[in-house]
Structures are given as C-alpha cells and as structure tokens.
Amino acid sequence: MATITIDGQSYEADPSANLLQAALTLGFDLPYFCWHPALGSVGACRQCAVRQYRDEEDTTGQIVMACMVPVADGLRCSIVEPEAAEFRAEVIEWLMSNHPHDCPVCDEGGECHLQDMTVMTGHCKRRFRFPKRTFRNQYLGPFINHEMNRCIQCYRCVRFYGDYAGGSDLVAMAAHNHVYFGRHEEGILENEFSGNLVEICPTGVFTDKTLKHHYSRKWDMVSSPSVCSHCAVGCNTIASTRYGSVRRILNRYHHDINGYFLCDRGRFGYTFTDAADRLRRPLLHPDRERDVETVAEPAEAMKRIREIFSEATGVAGIGSPRASLESNYALRNLVGSGRFSSGLPRIEHDATTALLEAMRNAPDGPGSLRDAERADAVLILGEDPNNTAPRLALALRQSVRNEPIRADAGSRIPRWHDRAIRDFVQDRKGPLFIAWPASTRLDDLAAGTHRAAPDEIARLGFAVAHAIDPQSPAVTDLDDSASDLASRIARALKEADRPMVVSGTALRSPAIIAAAAATVHALRRTGSGGSSFLAVAPEANTIGDAMLEGAPLETLEQQLESGEVDTLVILENDIYRRLPAPATDRIISKARRIIALDSIATATTNRADVVLPAGSFAESDGTFVNHEGRAQRFFQPLPPAGDVLEAWRWIGRIAAETGTSKQNEWDRLDRVLTALARDCPELAPARDAAPDAAFRANGQRFPRAPRRFSGRTSILSHLSVHEPKPPEDSDSPLSFTMEGHSGQPPAALVSHYWSPGWNSSQALNKFQSEVAGPARGGDPGARLIPGNGPNERPSTAIPAPVPDDDQTLLAVPCYEVFGSDELSARAPAVAERIPKPYVALAPTDAEHHGLDSGDSLNLLIGELRVSAPVRLDPKLPPGLCGIPAGMPGWSVPHLPARASVVT
C-alpha cells in the first residue's frame, strides 16, 4: 500500500490504482463521467480534476485529472481546493450547455449520474444563452431507446460497445461539439451486450426500451436481489417491480461472475413473467386427450391430487434444470430418490454427469468468469459461449489482451490506463483457440479454430493433452492440420501463466468434456499451477439438478413400461423440448395421471390432469447452482399473487396433503434447505448462499422498497386510500416496504444501489470493499465444489475418427442467444430478435443436394422429420448440418444424430 495525502489527511491507497479510484474507495465524492471501473481511464471528460502538489513545500501545485494520476507513495492532492472545485463545476456547465434539461420526461431522471454529478459540483446557474445543438435519434431495435440530445460525449458507450464488447455497429461520428454516437444507419444494435449501454450511459441517451413500455421511476419500484434464470452463468441481477409485474432487470455486481455487465438475454428476457401464457390459476384437464380445461380453486386441485395419489401404484417425479434446487429437492423427497428424474434425456444427462464429474475433479474446482477474464491462454472445446453462456464470451473477449500486456515488460503502462494500453496493444491478441462445428462470434479473436464434428473436437482435445504431457495417451490417425493445431494450442497453454480450458455440454459429448479435463490435468502435471477448467452448462440450475442425481427420462419410461410407476409429477419442465415428440407422447400416454407445476403454459402442462401455477423467479425464493457450482439465492421482488406459489411450497403442500410428510414441514424455505443439507452433504453449503429468514440488522429487516418509495400511499388510491397491510415474508429477511434497516445489507440481500448523493447505479462504488473489488462483507453465494487437487487422472476413452458417410449428415445442435433459452424466448422484445428457423449447411453439401440458401430442406432424424430453410455456412465442415436448439415452436431435441436428406 502507498501512503497518500488528500486535503492534509494521510490515507493508505493501492498503488496499482489511479487517484480517482483510490479517492472513491476512500469514500470521497469526486465526480467523474468517462472513467468506468471496468473500462479504465481515458481522460476525456476532465470532470475529476483535483490539485496535485509535488511535495510538502509545493503550495502552488497544478490541476490534474485524478483518473490519469497513478497512486504513488507521497502523492499529495486537494479535492476541495477552490480552483479545482470551480473547474469541476465549470465542466458541468460546459456539459450542460447543450443538454436539454428534460429530466422530468427523461427515463433516467432520478437515477441519473449526470444529475448526481451536477449536484455534487454545485453548478446550478446556467449562463449559456445560445441555441443548443440538436440531433436526430435512431431506431436501435427492441431493447434500446436513443435520445442523442442528452448526450454529454463521455465516450463510454462506444468504449464499452466497441472496445470492450467487440461490437462494430455503434461508433462515434463527426467532430467538435457535434460528436454523435450511433449507427451508420438506423437499425437493431447487433451486439448481444447492448443492454449494458443503459447502465454505462451516465445520462438518458441509451435507456431501456422494455422499461419504457411500462415505465416507472426508480423510487416507485420494489426490488429484490435476483439471479438470472436464462443460462447457467448465474449473473446476479436486481429485479424491479410495480403493480404486480416486473418492470426491469439491472445488473447486480458480483466480483467473480458478472461484474458490471449482463447480456441482453438476461436483461430483457424478464417479460416472460408477464406474458399472456403465464399460469396463474390451478387448471384441471378432465380429458387429457382433448383440449378442455377448467380453472380450479386451489383446494379443488388439491383434492384431485389427493385422489390421484391414493389411486396411484407408483408416483415418479420429473425434475428440471430450470427449477430451483429447493423445488427439485422437494420433488425428489416427495417421490423418493429412486423415482426422481433429472428431467433430462440420456444424451444430455450423460454429458451433464460427465461435466459434473470433471468439475469435481478439477484441480482447483471449476473456474469462474473472473478467472476467464484473467486467463492468458484459452482453449474452448465444444462450446459457443456467445450463445450458450453469453456473459462468459464477454469475459473471454477481455482475456486476449492479457498476453500482449504481460509480454510488455518495458512500457510499464498501468492496467487502468485504457487509452495508453490500447494504443500499445493495438490489435495484438493473446492465444484463444476455439473448437466448435461452426463459426462463432469470438472467431475474430481466435489464434486458431477447429471446425469439426463433436468426436473430432474431442480428439483434438486429447491430442492437446498428449502434446502437453506425453503421459496422456496419444491420438491415432489425427490429420496433419489438427496435429499442428494441437501442438500450437499445447505450446500456448504451457507458456501461459493462467491457462484455461472451457468446455461443456453443448454438443452433448462426454468425450469432449473428458478431453478438456485431460488437458487441464496434463497442464497441472507439467507444472502449470494456474491452470483452470471452466464448465459451461445450459440452464440456470443444470448443475444443481445434476447434483441431486436423478435418473434420465428414459429410465422413467422403463418404470412406466414395467408398471412400477403410473403417475408423474412434472416440475417446471416441458419434456417435449427434451425428447422427440413421439418419445414424449409415449411417456405421456403411458402415465395414467400427470400433475404438472409450472409458471408458463407448455405442451407438457397442456397434457397434465392437474396444473399448479408455480412462481417464476419473480414470485419465488430459491437457489440456483451455477456453472461453477456456486449456489446463489434469488428472492422474490413480488409477493406471489392469486394462486401462484413457489413450486417447492406447492410440493410441500402436496406432501402434507397426501401424507408423505408432516403438516407444514415444507412451508419455509429455510426448512427445505435444512432438510436438503441433511440429505445431501455436498449441497449443504447452499444454506449459506444467503442469510436465513431470521437474519436481522439491529432487529430490522431489509427493505425491498427504496428509501423514498412514494407508491405505498398512491398506487392503490383509486381503490382505497387506506394503506393495505404489507405482505409478509416468511422466507427471507427482506421486507416488502421501505421500512427497515437503512444501512447496507450483506451483498446477497442488496435490492438497490443508493448512497447519499448517488442515485444512479454508480452508487455501487459505495457497496464494494474497494472500487471494482469484492462486495463489502464478501460476494454472495456458496461454492459447492472445492476441487480435487492435482493428482486425479480422468478416464480417457478417445473416440475413433468420424467415418466418412456420403449417405447422411451429422446433425449437431447449434445455439442462438435469442431463441435457445425457453423462458426469455417468451419475452416480446427478445422474441423480435429470434432468427427464423434454419438448418445450417456447408455450401458443398448444399450443392450436392441441389439446394441454395433459403431453399426448404427436409431431414429425417430418427423418427423425427425436420423441415427448415437452408442457411449456408461456409465455415461448417462438409458432412455436418447445424440445427438451432430449443427454438420456440420447432424444438429439435436429441442431437447430435445422423440425419438423412428427404427429397
């Protein structure tokens, strides 16, 4: 630590930081715009001016920009010095000369960094008396609203969108006081991280268009800490609500996971919670084969369930990777572990089991996104992160800068000095290798790509392991280009300080995962201490579900076949998405009775005898286990309305109703977690993912409503001027009102970022132990998988080369960030971005079959017929075809599989 002096007081500060960062960490209110903790310093806005003195003798000093001054021992400066303060106020006056002052009609009003900084500098009287310059706004797609007149030209948007996220369609144009940030022509912002502009922009230029459709001020919204339910990364979010519906999602900082950024699927997918096909009442289907349904009272539904249970010869439960750990566990407990299915078909189940095995055997446990961001050589084996774990792709995009920066011993540019680092690094990139059947949106960074069938990708991985450590078995019959690539990859990984291998279940290949694990262990054996394995899984709780060790769906089919089981309880799982329709139909028709719990109407709930309305993430408390085995709690921002209950609570009631458990044993989240910890020791730490319901600060709960919540007296005033009794919360230490502890809660319970003078989300600085560091009191969540040390050698069954096959194509799943996720695809804004159905085909194969782009292609995959227009992908190797996974309306499960072209 360095000792610095600010306004005559001595402080300890981190010498790797800049003065602005240090001042903010120390709690000073120093205004800024262009600096961002994740983007670094560029010195553009000149807002953070302070006076710096050479030494104790120096009384004159000079005005400097704190963001450009490295912290060093003996540094002396003044923030309050009058001329520096006057200059800061003047910067605001300049910025305001063209700003429209339209705060009352601006979506940002009340949580605007520009407002905060204006107040902070004390500027209040406007002297500029000339006409303001104006701009034309652009249509930027369903996510982002554009209002350029408000722009203060801090350049953060293009620095995030272009430099950080790799987008090319948002740029700075023109010069002097006409600098314009937009697209060359109107149109949808292409980059899947565009939503971060909403939080990056210090004022109301880029605002959340989905919020605009049901706008509410920050101070009128009730919020809770949540966890994104749209992939397995588990980004932390804040979900805000009003009038019983979710109004927006904001980033909730997690040092090891999402940091400051979310993907657009996670930010804009939330409106599925309010879609027309939400289930809100129990439904009965007297005849499953006919489309007749009746709405039932909960008691009536329960009565029917009691009947079904009493008639059943055996009840099995189908869990779900998108349901919480508590709900899955409650179901397993209800039906018994022998009759509990993970809800996955064998092909996915086996890959997930292999992944979990690799995670448990990883030397230091599974890697985090923060590890990915810090890696200096990366091999991606069989994943397409932009589409399967988008936030990971953003982390990997940063990783390629590490090697060029490390390689530079001479220039000694501090890491935060973004301008200079980029001038120095230019387009040099560290090693990133991608093995995936088709092209990916990280290819522009890649030092090498291997586009091949899943087994060939696994073979490349094993070859890399062998090239790193000859003790790993050799791969026979590998072609020359793959061999060369394997040695290049091996060399890059060995030379790195922090090599990383990314792999997952996207291609449903246990062999790929084994190859990735073999590579990590080979690195560890040859002395690469920092090597890590990063696991990618598809759904929010894929890992938590897998850790409950249910059987694949096919096992249930056998149990139904044998008559051991005749009744199913299906938890938040549309099994038509998991198995081909004919196979699903067989399961459904063999089950005499089906009880389904879900938040959304699906093909599966349509065929259940009884449907219970389960809460979405917005009406539930629960735990997801993310891709790194971290248990994370999400809390409901909305009290469940009407008949909606958390799925685990429904299951608890069923258990009580049917006599499988004592009355009310399951009516508290903490009780479910306690039982879980008792039954599953590996999952026991999940209890500590967040404070329990009894937790208080000074005897007080933590408010979900903001300090200045105005809604409580006005929101329902058209019905009654009496204030209704606030809903109670038996499952968390949060309250639904603004009353409670006024200080900062533990990070797991943060519902909003606010601090005196800081009304925008940039108040976050005040919630961190140091700027851009861990949350005060530690980051939330509990790691369940600690790692297994260096000596484990995973199994190595190297697949044989993929034989040439002129007759059929190998159909592999490919993924779409907008479309492949079941829930977000139901959100209207996301739905606008879902591509039309397609089958990706190599041009040579297309020619072979006389097909051109857009022509209809008919495929027979097992017993399933698939028909979609051809999309030519020149990067796809011949013999393969790519079919998007999980697309709404035409999900094609059970890939990879051989497909024959039907004419």
Partner 1 sequence: MERPLTELIDLREGPLAREAYEHAGGYEAARRAVCDMPPREVIKTVEDSGLKGRGGAGFLTGMKWGFVPAGDDAPRPRYLICNADEMEPGTFKDRYLMEGNPHQLIEGMIIAAHAIQAEIGYIFLRDEYHRSAEALRRALAEAREAGYLGDSVFGSAFSCDIHLHTSAGRYICGEETALLNALEGRRAVPRAKPPFPPVVGLFGKPTIVNNVETLCCVPHIVSKGSKWFRQLSLTSDGGTKIFGVSGRVKNPGLWELPMGTPLREVIEGHAGGMRGGYRFRGVIPGGASTDFLVEEHLDIPLDFESVQKAGSRLGTGTMIVLDDRTCPVGMVHNLERFFAQESCGWCTPCRDGIPWIQKTLAAIEAGRGRPDDIELLHMHTRHLGPGRTFCAFAPGAMEPLQSALKYFDDDFRRHIADGRCPYNNHQTGNSNGNHHH
> Residue numbers of the site for partner 1 (CB under 8 A)?
42-47, 49, 62-64, 68, 86-87, 90-91, 94-95, 97-98, 127-128, 130, 152-153, 155, 172, 174-179, 410-411, 413, 417, 419-420, 423-426, 428
Q: Is 110 left (phi over 0), alpha (psi -120 to 50) or beta?
A: left
CB of 120 to partner 1, least distance (A): 16
Between CA 880 and CA 899 the distance in angstroms is 9
Give CA torsion, residues 756, 235, 535, 36, to 10 deg: -50
DSSP sequence for 615-684: --GGG--EEEE-TTSEEEEE--SSPPPTT-B-HHHHHHHHHHHHTSS-TTTTSSHHHHHHHHHHH-GGGG
CB of 176 to partner 1, least distance (A): 4
DSSP sequence for 415-442: TT-HHHHHHHHTT----EEEE-SS--TT
CB of 408 to partner 1, least distance (A): 9
CB of 127 to partner 1, least distance (A): 7
- Identify whether the C-beta of residue 194 lies closer than 8 Å to the C-beta of residue 144: yes
CB of 49 to partner 1, least distance (A): 7
Which of residues 184 and 428 has its CB atom nearest to partner 1 in the complex? 428
Which of residues 48 and 515 has its CB atom nearest to partner 1 in the complex? 48
Residue 301 gets which letter from DSSP?
H
CB of 87 to partner 1, least distance (A): 6
Between CA 670 and CA 73 the distance in angstroms is 49
* Rounded alpha-carbon distances, angstroms, from residue 228 to 3, 617, 651, 750: 41, 8, 23, 15
How many degrees, rounded to 5, is the angle at CA 319 between CA 313 and CA 324?
Answer: 140
CB of 162 to partner 1, least distance (A): 11
CB of 168 to partner 1, least distance (A): 13
Which of residues 77 and 91 has its CB atom nearest to partner 1 in the complex? 91
CB of 499 to partner 1, least distance (A): 25
Which of residues 154 and 502 has its CB atom nearest to partner 1 in the complex? 154
Residue indicated by tokens 């000369």: 97
Two tokens at 524? 């560890």
Rg of the chain over all Cα atoms, to the nearest angstrom = 28
Two tokens at 569? 């309880």
Q: How many residues does the chain have?
A: 903
First to last CA, the chain: 72
- Identify whether the C-beta of residue 376 lies closer than 8 Å to the C-beta of residue 403: yes
Which of residues 423 and 832 has its CB atom nearest to partner 1 in the complex? 423
- Identify whether the C-beta of residue 413 lies closer than 8 Å to the C-beta of residue 420: yes
CB of 54 to partner 1, least distance (A): 14
Helix-strand-coil split of the chain, %, nearest 5: 35, 20, 50
Going 116 to 118 to 123 to 128, the CA torsion angle's sign is negative
Which of residues 120 and 846 has its CB atom nearest to partner 1 in the complex? 120
Which of residues 155 and 815 has its CB atom nearest to partner 1 in the complex? 155
Which burial class, exposed, middle or buried, applies to 699 when counting CB atoms under 10 A from its CB (0-12, 13-18, 19+)? exposed
Between CA 350 and CA 344 the distance in angstroms is 9
Which of residues 201 and 301 has its CB atom nearest to partner 1 in the complex? 201
Which of residues 428 and 849 has its CB atom nearest to partner 1 in the complex? 428
Which of residues 50 and 625 has its CB atom nearest to partner 1 in the complex? 50
Task: State whether residue 357 is helix, strand or coil.
Answer: helix
Which of residues 418 and 598 has its CB atom nearest to partner 1 in the complex? 418
Task: State whether residue 340 is helix, strand or coil.
Answer: strand
Which of residues 49 and 610 has its CB atom nearest to partner 1 in the complex? 49
Answer whether the bond into residue 896 is a cis peptide, omega within 30°.
yes
Residue indicated by tokens 């017929």: 865
Between CA 477 and CA 460 the distance in angstroms is 11
Between CA 254 and CA 299 the distance in angstroms is 42
CB of 167 to partner 1, least distance (A): 16
Residue 305 gets which letter from DSSP?
H
Which of residues 28 and 87 has its CB atom nearest to partner 1 in the complex? 87
How many degrees, rounded to 5, is the angle at CA 673 between CA 668 and CA 679?
Answer: 130
CB of 781 to partner 1, least distance (A): 38
Which of residues 38 and 413 has its CB atom nearest to partner 1 in the complex? 413
CB of 17 to partner 1, least distance (A): 17
Strand boundaries in 214-301, DSSP class E = 222-227, 236-242, 245-251, 283-284, 294-295
SS (H, E, C) 63-110: EEEHHHCECCCCCEEECCCHHHHHHHHHHHHHHHCCCCCCHHHCCCCC
Which of residues 173 and 299 has its CB atom nearest to partner 1 in the complex? 173
Two tokens at 292? 């007749």
CB of 429 to partner 1, least distance (A): 13
CB of 2 to partner 1, least distance (A): 19
Which of residues 46 and 524 has its CB atom nearest to partner 1 in the complex? 46
Which of residues 122 and 642 has its CB atom nearest to partner 1 in the complex? 122
CB of 761 to partner 1, least distance (A): 22
Between CA 466 and CA 472 the distance in angstroms is 5
Pairing of the two strands 206-208 and 144-146 = antiparallel
Which of residues 3 and 97 has its CB atom nearest to partner 1 in the complex? 97
CB of 173 to partner 1, least distance (A): 9
Between CA 866 and CA 870 the distance in angstroms is 12
CB of 505 to partner 1, least distance (A): 40
Contacts of 728 (CB under 8 A, 6+ apart): none
